[in-house]
Amino acid sequence: MLVIVTLVMQGIGEVKENLSTTQMLKGILDGCLLAIIKDKEVYGYELAEKLESYGFHSFSEGTIYPLLMRMQKEELVTTTLKKSTAGPRRKYYSLTPKGEAELEMFIERWNYLQTNVNRVLRHESDSEHLKGDETDE
């Protein structure tokens, strides 16, 4: 398990002092949020629902907001306020060019990770080090 966690953390480039599963999940959630937003302009609740519909059931829906706030600060997403028929104003998120580039990078990292993790799980050897060096591929 530790091997996988380390690999994931290195791949996502978010090695912090405390490796926890929630942190690991965060980096992945970031990528998923970007991917969903790319498809269609969405607001927070919709985004949470979509994530759940893809099978992420155990997370607290509110966790997406701090992530969205950071992504907005990093100019990966922009927001617009729109009135809904139901009454409340909704904040819609859409991807910036920078966000699209980040998504591309995430997909690359994820594919790389996935391949390596799968290899670990199937005990296949790549004949090279699996230390997470980008040059390994």
Partner 1 sequence: MNSELKLSDKSREFLDHLRVYLFSSGKHSDEIEEIVEELEVHLFEAEKNGKPIEKIIGKSPKEYMEMVSNEMATDYRSWIKTISLIVFGSFSFTIFSDLMKGNLSYSVLEIVGHLVIGAVFIAAIATGFKYISATNLSIKKQGLLVTAIMILPIALFVGLIYANRAIDTPVIHFGTTASMIIGGITALFIIGASFWAKTWILLIVVALLTLPDFLLGLTPLTHEAQLMISPWITFGGIGLYLWLSLSWSRKNGK
Which parts of this chain interact with partner 1 (CB under 8 A)? 43-45, 48, 60-63, 65-66, 69-70, 73, 87-91
Three-state DSSP state, 124? coil
Return the number of the residue (4 or 61) whose C-beta is nearest partner 1. 61
Return the number of the residue (6 or 63) whose C-beta is nearest partner 1. 63
Return the number of the residue (53 or 135) whose C-beta is nearest partner 1. 53
- Which DSSP helix (H) or strand (E) runs through 82? strand 77-83
- The owner of tokens 């997406």 is 64
CB of 9: closest distance to partner 1 in angstroms?
Answer: 19
CB of 43: closest distance to partner 1 in angstroms?
Answer: 8
Alpha-carbon distance of 79 to 56, in angstroms, equals: 24
> How many beta carbons lie within 10 A of that of residue 22, not counting itself?
10
